């Protein structure tokens, strides 16, 4: 069912997320072997204390060892286009060359969806596009060319894999209220899935203002006070 919002499911993640990061941290500062550090790890509270200290020092290669994958669906092509700009993530996306979009699903932006008159206009335009697309397919045009008429709103699905460092970076950027609503909802859904497994990550999978302690956006939402570099240097 198309409920007009992004779906994200965590389909793969390591069992020992905290212990793996802890082992990476301790390996850098210990004469002991990584295997011994892993096998004789501290209790969770002590591991967490060290891991948080190392992350806050910026020693971030330690969290690159954690690789997670999400099954993502019901996002628009404009949302997927924004997502694939993140160069340290890996993607496998439904192809519009090999999969025909005869009855394509689409996402309606919230601002249009909340206005009955505009929503009707939007839906009727999608129907027109669908008809044109199907006319082209029936005329023998290959799907890879017929897709030229499909809209940004067309729904897509993909597998998204990332290491933890990149996921935190993407969360910092895309959970900001200045990011577009759809990608914000998608990244939130992905982060919520991982936080359900690894609760301590809730302190890191946050908008950048939470990490920075200030807002660096021109049009601030007011969640944190704005950093005004000009005023500060005067």
Ligand X SMILES: Cc1cc2nc3c(=O)[nH]c(=O)nc-3n(C[C@H](O)[C@H](O)[C@H](O)COP(=O)(O)OP(=O)(O)OC[C@H]3O[C@@H](n4cnc5c(N)ncnc54)[C@H](O)[C@@H]3O)c2cc1C
Residue span 77-106 as binding mask against ligand X, x where in contact by CB under 6 A, dash where not? --------xxxx------------------
Contact in structure between 23 and 41 (CB atoms under 8 Å): yes
Q: How is 86-151 classified by DSSP, letter by letter?
A: -TTSEEEE--TTTS--TT--B---HHHHT-HHHHHHHHHHHHHHHHHHHHHHHTT--HHHHGGG--
Element (H, E) at 72: strand 67-76
At closest approach, how far in Å is the CB of 99 from ligand X?
27
Rg of the chain, C-alpha, whole Å: 22
Stretch that binds ligand X, among 73-81, 96-104, 129-137, 166-174 (CB under 6 A): 166-174
Q: How is 23-65 classified by DSSP, letter by letter?
A: HHHHHHH-SS-HHHHHHT---HHHHHHHHHHHHHTT-GGGGTT
Residue span 180-219 as binding mask against ligand X, x where in contact by CB under 6 A, dash where not? ----------------------------------------
Stretch that binds ligand X, among 6-14, 50-58, 171-179, 185-193 (CB under 6 A): 171-179
Instruction: Tell me whether residue 13 or residue 84 sits nearer to ligand X (CB atom).
Output: 84
At closest approach, how far in Å is the CB of 122 from ligand X?
23
Catalytic annotation present for 178: no
Positions that interact with ligand X (CB under 6 A):
85-88, 166, 169-170, 173-174, 178-179
């Amino acid at each position: 069912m198309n409920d007009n919002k992004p779906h994200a499911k965590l389909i793969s993640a390591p069992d020992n997320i905290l212990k793996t990061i802890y082992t990476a941290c301790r390996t850098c500062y210990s004469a002991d072997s990584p295997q011994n550090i892993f096998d004789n790890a501290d209790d969770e509270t002590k591991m967490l204390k060290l891991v948080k200290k190392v992350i806050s020092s910026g020693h971030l290669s330690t969290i690159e060892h954690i690789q997670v994958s999400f099954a993502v669906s019901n996002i628009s092509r404009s949302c997927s286009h924004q997502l694939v700009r993140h160069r340290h993530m890996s993607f496998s996306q439904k192809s519009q060359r090999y999969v025909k979009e005869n009855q394509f699903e689409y996402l309606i932006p919230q601002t249009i969806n909340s206005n009955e008159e505009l929503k009707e206009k939007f839906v009727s335009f999608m129907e027109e596009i669908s008809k044109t697309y199907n006319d082209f397919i029936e005329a023998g045009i290959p799907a890879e060319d017929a897709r030229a008429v499909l809209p940004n709103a067309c729904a897509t699905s993909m597998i998204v894999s990332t290491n933890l460092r990149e996921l935190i970076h993407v969360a910092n950027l895309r959970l900001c209220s200045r990011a577009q609503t759809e990608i914000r909802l998608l990244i939130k859904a992905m982060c919520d899935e991982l936080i359900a497994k690894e609760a301590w990550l809730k302190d890191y999978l946050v908008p950048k203002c939470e990490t920075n302690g200030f807002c660096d956006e021109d049009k601030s939402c007011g969640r944190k006070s704005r950093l005004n570099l000009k005023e500060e240097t005067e």
